[in-house]
Structure 1
Amino acid sequence: MQTKITMLILGLILSATAFAAPTDSLKVSHWKSDIQTGTNLNQASFSSNWKGGGVNSIAVGLFFNGHANYENTRLSFNNDLQLQYGFLKNDGQSLRKNADRIFLDSKLGYKISPHWNLFASTNFAAQFDKGYEYKKDAVTGEEKSYLISRFFAPAYLTNSIGAEYKPVSYFWLRFGTGTLRQTFVTDTTLYHNVPKNYGVDIGSKVRNEIAFQFIASFDKDIAKNMNLKVRYAAFANYETLRAIDNRLDVLLAAKINKFVSVNLSGTLLYDEDMDYHIQTSQTLAIGLLYSISSK
């Protein structure tokens, strides 16, 4: 377990090193990179006699998106790192997070035809902080919090090999015929509030699954200063093909000017190891944006 975590941390460090490569070296190589970082801030306040109703609130979000890609005649190496964390404070309630994501995807590809590649990839998904479910006590009516997630509980490490179809630069399909996914739940008491324990056997900290994975990605500027990203992933355990995990992420980002942007994002998720119903999330944010690009 400690060895796996050490290898994962090393991989993150190596990816960060690639993103931070000196601009001069990028100009004389096959590397292309870009970084976007910024913050979103939302605030509302009302006087005590405001008849329209409302709750004083403040919300802050931080994000980092980075890409570092290498490509020559046949060989390609693509890296995508996304970090996101946000919290909100409503008057009369405790501080609560409203965004939390760690996402790293690295893929090594070898071109076998104009539109087809063989690939090997590693994907890591987790969160930074504790997550809670809030419920009111049936007797007292008092709101209570229940821990349902935290760092590395759950976390997903997925290694895959297969074929990739890429007809154009902004769209590709991956067929991961040989995929190993490891689900980590390092908090062995979490099952008290999450009976399904994210698919990991109670008392264990990791679950291994051999599966088929399909991923479709679309990333294109659909108008001036407006970008659309769509990513769909399906994961089918070869032992239980009936229960297929599905996740769809959509992000529409528009730049108002060099430093201000508006983002509309949504996620649709179905995973029986979490819940038998579809999960959804949606956010709309306006904030400051800082970009660095080396082409």
Structure 2
Amino acid sequence: MKHLFTYLIALTLVCHSHAQSLDSLANELVKDTTYWQSEFSAGLNFNQAAFSGNWKAGGVNSVAFGTLIAGKANYAKGKWSWDNQGELIYGIVKNEGQQFRKSNDRIFLDSKVGYKTGGNWSYFTSLNFLTQFSDGFEFGPADQSTLISGFLSPAFLTSAIGMEYKPNDEFALRIAPFSPRLTFVTDPNVSANVPNNYGVPIGQTVRTEWLALQLFATYDKDITDNLAIKTRYQMFANYETLAFRTIDHRLDVMLIAKITRFVDVTFTSINVYDLDMDPGIQYSQALALGILYKVSNKK
């Protein structure tokens, strides 16, 4: 309880400038909504494979299901801006003779307040959150499973204060020399199975890294009417343990190709280097055909 109280006080102090900026925008928001740009998309995909018992080429009967929900709500008027985005992704696969397994799992939320200084630069303060929906397992022989992650285990809450370079609506780069991060591992069963506990000290549920640098870059572009790319890169460097091998990197890539108005092919890729998770580079990728519904008020 003591740790929770300390965390709440610390988070309040770190986010003070973020809250002040939101208060400054409040009166404008209730007066006029024409300065908002919003976008929402939701997708479903299903894959299935079946083979007869005498199929000589080999194969495994399987079914897979995936969902994607993403949205943006951005406000801009004069020198002020307030950008919000969220991504919810989840997928499962079932191979014959095996348990259900996850094929994708991500919760990402980000909010940023900016104040334009001139040209393509702005001051900004932001807060973003990253975790997953359900338990993650490492599978061994005979389909034995070991719990290695879960909801809020780990989870990352990162605040930032710095400068943003945004030359157009497609690309943005945030440079935050002060970017405290909180890492959570709330499930003791995960702590028991992951020796380094995602950097959180054993016996605790939160690790606080106060002195840190964050780079956050996004590139979202409609290449053609039927092809779009969305990328997000995050770099996090703790000043207290600064070394080339201790800098965290994460790159998310999504390609969406529309076949018809509602049918699309989606490719997603996540690439992570974080020494507190694993000494090597982690990656995942998924390719799916499904239904995508998208609405936007962009002009």
Q: Residues of 1 paired with 2:253 and 2:102: CA distance?
A: 21
Give the C-alpha shift of residue 224 in structure 1: 2.4
What is the aligned partner in structure 2 of residue 268 from structure 1? 271
| C-alpha deviation, 1:191, in angstroms | 2.5
Q: CA RMSD in A?
A: 1.8
| Aligned AA (2:146) | Y
Measured in 2, the distance between the counterparts of 1:176 and 1:32 equals 25
Residue matched to 1:132: 137
Show the counterpart of 2:241: 240
**Conserved? CA contact 1:212–1:235, under 8 Å:** yes
For 1:167, what is the secondary structure of its paired residue?
coil
- 1:187 deviates by 1.1
Shift of 1:267: 1.6
The answer (yes or no) to whether the contact 1:26–1:294 under 8 Å persists in 2 is no
Query: Is the contact made by 1:30 and 1:71 (CA closer than 8 Å) also made in structure 2?
Result: yes
Decide whether aligned partners of structure 1 residues 74 and 103 sit closer, same or farther in structure 2, where only a CA change above 3 A counts: same
Q: Which residue of 2 aligns with 1:230?
A: 231
2:185 maps to 1:182 = no
Contact 1:106 1:123 in 2 (8 A): yes
In 2: Cα distance, 1:223 partner to 1:293 partner: 17
Q: For residues 179 and 58 of structure 2, what CA distance do their matches in structure 1 show?
A: 52
In structure 2, the residue matched to 1:122 is: 127
State TM-score, norm by structure 2: 0.87
Q: Is 1:47 matched up with 2:90?
A: no
Residue 189 of structure 1: how far off its partner (Å): 3.0
Deviation sequence 1:43-93 (CA, Å, 0-9, x none)? 000111111110000000011000000001100000111001110100000
- Which TM-score applies when normalising by structure 1? 0.89
**Aligned partners of 1:291 and 1:62: how far apart in 2?**
14
- Name the counterpart of 2:159: 159
Q: Aligned pair in 2 of structure 1 residues 279, 28: CA closer, same or farther (>3 Å)?
A: closer
Q: Aligned partners of 2:90, 2:180: CA distance in 1, in Å?
A: 28
Other-structure match for 2:94: 89
Among residues 71, 74, 78, which one is paired with 2:79 in the alignment? 74
Match of 2:116 among 111, 114, 130: 111
CA contact 1:252–1:263 (8 Å) conserved in 2: yes
Matched residues in 2 for 1:247 and 1:38: separation?
Answer: 24
Q: 2-side partners of 1:276 and 1:284: how far apart? A: 27
Runs of 4+ in structure 1 displaced over 4 angstroms? 25-28
- C-alpha distance after superposition, 1:121-146 (max 9, x if no partner): 0000001100000012xxxxx33100
Name the SS of the counterpart of 2:78 in structure 1: coil
Of 28-37 and 103-112, deviating more is 28-37
Q: Distance in 2 between matches of 1:26 and 1:36?
A: 27
Contact 2:85 2:111 in 1 (8 A): yes
The corresponding residue for 1:13 is none
Aligned residues with identical type, % of pairs = 50
Displacement, 1:27?
8.8
| Partner AA of 2:236 in structure 1 | F
Once the two structures are TM-superposed, the CA of residue 281 in structure 1 deviates from its matched residue by 0.8
Partner AA of 2:100 in structure 1: L
Q: CA deviation at 1:28?
A: 4.7
Distance 1:274 1:149 in 2: 11
Residue 204 of structure 1 aligns to which amino acid in structure 2? Q
Whether the aligned pair in 2 keeps the contact of 1:26 and 1:32 (CA below 8 Å) is no
CA distance in 2, matches of 1:93, 1:187: 25
**2:21 counterpart residue number:** none
In 2, the alpha carbon distance for the partners of 1:196 and 1:154 equals: 12
Match of 2:257 among 233, 254, 257: 254
Q: CA deviation at 1:293?
A: 1.4
The 8 Å contact of residues 188 and 204 in structure 1, kept in 2 or not, is answered as no
- In structure 1, give the amino acid aligned to 2:59: G
Q: Deviations over 1:81-110 (max 9, x none)?
A: 100111010000011111111000110000
- Amino acid paired to 2:219: F
Are the counterparts in 2 of residues 181 and 209 from structure 1 also a CA contact under 8 Å? Answer: yes
Q: Secondary structure at the match of 1:229?
A: strand
Aligned-pair CA distance for 1:192: 2.4
CA contact under 8 A between 1:188 and 1:202: conserved in structure 2?
no
Match of 2:17 in 1: none
The residue type equivalent to 1:273 in the other structure is: D
* SS at 1:92 equivalent: coil
Q: Distance in 2 between matches of 1:102 and 1:216?
A: 18
Secondary structure of the residue aligned to 2:191 is helix
Q: 1:132 is paired with a residue of what secondary structure?
A: strand
More deviation in 216-225 or 80-89?
216-225
Shift of residue 209, structure 1, vs aligned partner:
0.5
8 Å contact from structure 2 (residues 99, 143) kept in 1: no
